Amino acid sequence: MRAIRFSRFGGPEVLEIVELPDPHPGPGRVRITVRAAGVNPSDWKKRAGLMDQQLPQAMGYEAAGVVDEVGEGVTGVSVGDRVFGFADEEGTQAELAVLSHYAPIPSSLDFAGAAALPAAIETATRALDQLGVTDGVTLLVNGASGSVGSAAVQLALARGARVIGTAGLANQEYVRSLGAEPVTYGEGLLDRVRALAPGGVDLALDVAGSGVLPELIEIAGGAAHVVTIADFAGAQEHGVRFSRGDSGRALHVIGQIGDLIDSGRFVLPVARTFPLTEIAEAHRLGEQGVVRGKLVLLVG
Ligand SMILES: NC(=O)c1ccc[n+]([C@@H]2O[C@H](COP(=O)([O-])OP(=O)(O)OC[C@H]3O[C@@H](n4cnc5c(N)ncnc54)[C@H](OP(=O)(O)O)[C@@H]3O)[C@@H](O)[C@H]2O)c1
């Protein structure tokens, strides 16, 4: 099968399409013919050598496609079913992928729309759980217009929270359309949040990693009320919890999101799709940080 991989760290030009042996599913896993795979900021961080140090690295960890082989002990899923989910071994930006956690694709979604979901909804759910977001709380999401931010806004609203979200000027109406109260980020952020919530907010989630943890701590009344998914150094400096995907993932959400999607209460736009051969272009665009919604590779 063809797969995206890199054998040295560097810019988008180090990405290659290589022939790899077809993977086969172990117990509890399914293999899919990949129709679409999500592209994430961690892809360019990995490619640049900022994360895992092993080489070579296959790319991608979320995908949607059609089951073509099932592992031992798998029940409830058959060859030919449309599923989406996570791989925890080989990369999903490939013609075939073994998924370790999967669910049926919600009926209103195509493959690209489904491939866009797993990382965003898992990360958002995990962070909201760690913060303890429940009915009636006021939550500030810093970076509400990105993939994880958009998911966090909508999943928090579904829990009954009030959500204030920061975004760039061009994304204020988008954040409002998600159901949050938008404010622009940058100088004067806390004054704008206080204009909406004079007593401050109960909880704050930093998705953007834009160096505002001290402000979030102040407006949420303490570091214990703040979680970041993108500011590792700031979390250590300010005593804020850094939420990471290597332990306690909220994987159950991929089996639960269908109801919210099919009832129109959750949308995650696909900003742009690319064929497998244009993976470098997807990285270049994604790294600019100007895309609203998810970048998705179409395969096959
Ligand atoms: N720890 C984990 O488990 C985990 C999991 C997934 C992702 N992440 C990390 O989370 C981050 C976001 O991922 P993503 O997929 O949501 O990225 P994304 O879709 O590219 O979104 C990034 C968003 O950041 C916003 N932004 C840029 N500068 C900002 C600022 N100064 N203040 C507030 N917002 C700002 C942008 O908003 P505008 O366009 O409106 O300016 C953009 O919508 C990445 O760093 C990623 O690596 C961590």
Phi and psi dihedrals of 274, rounded to 5?
-135, 145
* Residue 36 pLDDT > 90: yes
Distance CA 149, CA 236 (A): 22
Per-residue pLDDT band at 189 (split at 50, 70, 90): very high
Asked if residue 149 has its Cβ within 6 Å of ligand 1, the reply is: yes
Q: How far is the CA of 228 from the centre of ligand 1 (A)?
A: 11
Any bridge partners for residue 37, and if so which?
63, 297
| Best residue among 147, 164, 227 to mutate for probing ligand 1, ranked by most atoms within 8 Å of CB | 147
Angle at 144 between CA 4 and CA 201, to 5 degrees: 140
Contacts of 112 (CB under 8 A, 6+ apart): 36, 64, 270, 273, 296, 298
Quick one: pLDDT at residue 279? 97
Distance CA 56, CA 44 (A): 14
Per-residue pLDDT band at 218 (split at 50, 70, 90): very high
What separation in angstroms does the CA of 117 have from each of 43, 109, 181, 221? 16, 10, 23, 32
Residue 242 corresponds to which tokens in the numbers above? 């850094």
Per-residue pLDDT band at 77 (split at 50, 70, 90): very high
Query: Which residue type, as a one-letter code, is found at position 223?
Result: A
Asked if residue 230 has its Cβ within 6 Å of ligand 1, the reply is: yes
What separation in angstroms does the CA of 246 have from each of 105, 126, 262? 24, 11, 30
Quick one: pLDDT at residue 122? 98
Helix (H, G, I), strand (E, B) or coil at 51: coil
Quick one: pLDDT at residue 292? 83
Q: Of all protein residues, whose CA lies closest to atom 46 belonging to ligand 1?
A: 41
Q: Of all protein residues, whose CA lies closest to atom 23 belonging to ligand 1?
A: 146
Asked if residue 168 has its Cβ within 6 Å of ligand 1, the reply is: yes
Asked if residue 123 has its Cβ within 6 Å of ligand 1, the reply is: yes
Distance CA 55, CA 63 (A): 22
Sign of the alpha-carbon dihedral angle for 59, 62, 64, 66:
positive
Residue 80 corresponds to which tokens in the numbers above? 């030919």
The percentage of residues in the chain with a pLDDT greater than 90, rounded to a whole number, is 96
Q: How far is the CA of 175 from the centre of ligand 1 (A)?
A: 14
Q: Is there a contact between 222 and 209 (Cβ–Cβ < 8 Å)?
A: no
Asked if residue 244 has its Cβ within 6 Å of ligand 1, the reply is: yes
Per-residue pLDDT band at 139 (split at 50, 70, 90): very high
Distance CA 217, CA 273 (A): 37
Query: Which residue type, as a one-letter code, is found at position 265?
Result: R
Contacts of 287 (CB under 8 A, 6+ apart): 12, 44
Sheet with 57-58, strands from edge to edge, namely 15-19, 2-6, 57-58
What's the rounded mean pLDDT across residues 234-258? 94
Predicted model pTM:
0.96
N- to C-terminal Cα distance for the chain? 11
What's the rounded mean pLDDT across residues 288-295? 87
Distance CA 193, CA 255 (A): 34
